[in-house]
Structure 1
Amino acid sequence: MCRWAAYLGEPVFLEDIVTAPCHSLIEQSHHALEAKTPTNGDGFGVAWYGDRPEPGLYRDILPAWSDPNLKSLCRQIRSGLFLAHVRASTGGATSRANCHPFILGPWAFMHNGQIGGFEKIRRPLEASLTDDLYERLEGGTDSELFFLLLFAEGLEQDPQGAMERATRRVIAAQRGAGIEPSFKLTAALANGETLHAVRYTTHATAPTLYASAFGEGRCIMSEPLDRDGCDWQAVPPGSFVTLSRQGMTVRPFEPASEDLALAG
């Protein structure tokens, strides 16, 4: 599984989260403490918002710890909203197109988790996209396809509802293929103004997610940056988190039908 971090608040240097702390995202890329595998070396990416509506994006297939350009950029770039991701592939080639975050217009998305039986349901899910959305598909991951499903389900008007409806669409496709529903979804989503995150699973244990005040803002990430500094709070499974300049809200995330119990 992957590791990721996102920040919203007064502008800070990306290095304050991505590279500098003792358990920074780069440290987590080769020594994760709460992941299925401790190494996340199948590429990385950062998306940050500045003076333009669309985010800047830098992705590469190198392990995050071995890219000096990433460290240099993080030392120089300040942003009030950014997403950063280190990848441990659960499917799809190690290519730049398969590295997170994914962007479309002002939206950026990254994911830690997996759609079970993806190769058996990929084709019908792709076929359910409009031609315009299908043409935006660049890689071969379940995460990028799910991002495009969010637009098909009304992301721009209703982020939480789109996330729930897209999740239901995945579960319905799994059932249609005779697969027991299996979807781990710990993800972040931003549009330049607001940051959303979700922690959900259809079974077993949802990938970890924590939130904390961070200077004049808030950080949400797969693992705490440290164990002795900020007051990190675990986000409960089955939660949809919204961070804005006004604060943070946590709502129940309930995408599945009543006969599919949430677990975490």
Structure 2
Amino acid sequence: MCRWLAYSGEPIQPSTLILDAQHSLVAQSLNSPLGAETVNGDGFGFGWYPKDDRTRGIPALFHSIEPAWHDENLREITQAVESPLFFAHVRAAGGPPIQQTNCHPFRHENWMFMHNGFLSDFITYKRDLTFAVDPSLYPAIHGTTDSEVLFHLALTLGLQDDPIGAMAKAVRMVESVGREKGVAFPMQGTLAVSNGRTLWTFRYSSQGQTRSLFHSAEISALRELYPDAERLNLFGDRARVVVSEPLNNLPGAFIEVPEATVAILDEAGYEYQPFLAS
């Protein structure tokens, strides 16, 4: 459906990953070997926490319905700013219209969210899930995607206090309501959520055949493995990225996130936890 990446670490120019990597996100928007769709040209989004905001407050967003490879503003912005944590997403629309309000990432206060995948046959139980969103949050749903409803459902269920627990409750609700409507495998996707300091990334589907998800190996280990790879010097020791598919072809540079897993990334590094594992 889509491709995305999330970076956390020392502040960098986002263009380093979004535009300049061997198999950058923009390159994936044109040719995505591991994606369900080869081309992801139905708009994009970029969200970032500013370098000089030590409180990691409200992130900035840039959305466009143009293909990522065609947008000069994306190049200008990602080269002009530096950020210690940012999201980027390229979209292949699976039904909802191509409009800015349907582009990821989505934002609520200091939280960002993005999704690659879908809620199967969403239209048959869209009303049930939307009406389960807290009335105070409902006006913040500006688009028509299943992803935005899922985000606000998780917020309703306590995302800001317990991201993993709230996301589990939201996904279980999707599965319960979807199956009541005759949908065998309601949930499909990889998800990214952040409050500006910690990054939670989820890989889960009702069928157990989830879209691909990888994270980078430790920079220190990669420098030992590839001492002549000058590009690694662009990154600090805490630099880490979670991606729909690897950004280069270096063996060992990217590690696949297991099925039914949440990978939690903070200043201490990665931690895996089972997520709704059967």
TM range (shorter): over 0.9
Equivalent position amino acid for 1:251 in 2: Q
Q: Distance in 2 between matches of 1:141 and 1:239?
A: 24
- Which residue of the partner structure matches residue 3 of structure 1? 3
Q: Distance in 1 between matches of 2:68 and 2:112?
A: 19
- Which residue of the partner structure matches residue 158 of structure 2? 154
Q: Distance in 2 between matches of 1:230 and 1:192?
A: 28
SS for the counterpart of 2:125 is helix
Equivalent position amino acid for 1:252 in 2: P
Deviation readout 1:161-216 (Å, 9 max, x if unpaired): 01100000101111221221321120111111111100011115210000013532
Q: Distance in 2 between matches of 1:5 and 1:81?
A: 11
Q: Distance in 1 between matches of 2:69 and 2:192?
A: 22
Unaligned runs of 5+ in 1: 256-260
Runs of 4+ in structure 1 deviating by more than 3 angstroms, as ranges, are: none
What displacement does 1:247 show? 1.1
What displacement does 1:123 show? 0.4
- Which residue of the partner structure matches residue 123 of structure 1? 127
What displacement does 1:130 show? 1.8
What displacement does 1:33 show? 1.1
- Which residue of the partner structure matches residue 15 of structure 2? 15
SS for the counterpart of 1:90 is coil
Equivalent position amino acid for 1:132 in 2: S
Instruction: Pick the aligned partner of 2:243 from 221, 241, 245.
Output: 221
Q: Distance in 2 between matches of 1:230 and 1:57?
A: 32
Q: Distance in 1 between matches of 2:158 and 2:95?
A: 27
Are the equivalent residues in 1 in contact too, given 2:35–2:211 (CA < 8 A)?
A: yes
Matched, 1:42 2:42: yes
- Which residue of the partner structure matches residue 149 of structure 2? 145
Q: Distance in 2 between matches of 1:165 and 1:4?
A: 24
Matched, 1:93 2:97: yes
Q: Distance in 2 between matches of 1:239 and 1:124?
A: 27
Please, what is the CA RMSD of the aligned residues? 1.3
Q: Distance in 1 between matches of 2:95 and 2:10?
A: 36
Aligned-residue sequence identity (percent) comes to 38
Change (3 A) 1:149 1:44: same
Matched, 1:199 2:199: no
Unaligned runs of 5+ in 2: 220-234
Q: What TM-score, normalized to structure 1? A: 0.94
Instruction: Pick the aligned partner of 2:70 from 66, 72, 80.
Output: 66
SS for the counterpart of 1:193 is coil
SS for the counterpart of 2:115 is strand
Are the equivalent residues in 1 in contact too, given 2:104–2:113 (CA < 8 A)?
A: yes
- Which residue of the partner structure matches residue 31 of structure 1? 31
Q: What TM-score, normalized to structure 2? A: 0.89
- Which residue of the partner structure matches residue 269 of structure 2? 247
Q: Distance in 2 between matches of 1:3 and 1:181?
A: 21
Equivalent position amino acid for 1:157 in 2: D
Change (3 A) 1:230 1:82: farther
Instruction: Pick the aligned partner of 2:255 from 211, 215, 233.
Output: 233
Instruction: Pick the aligned partner of 1:136 from 130, 137, 140.
Output: 140
Are the equivalent residues in 1 in contact too, given 2:208–2:260 (CA < 8 A)?
A: no
Equivalent position amino acid for 1:6 in 2: A
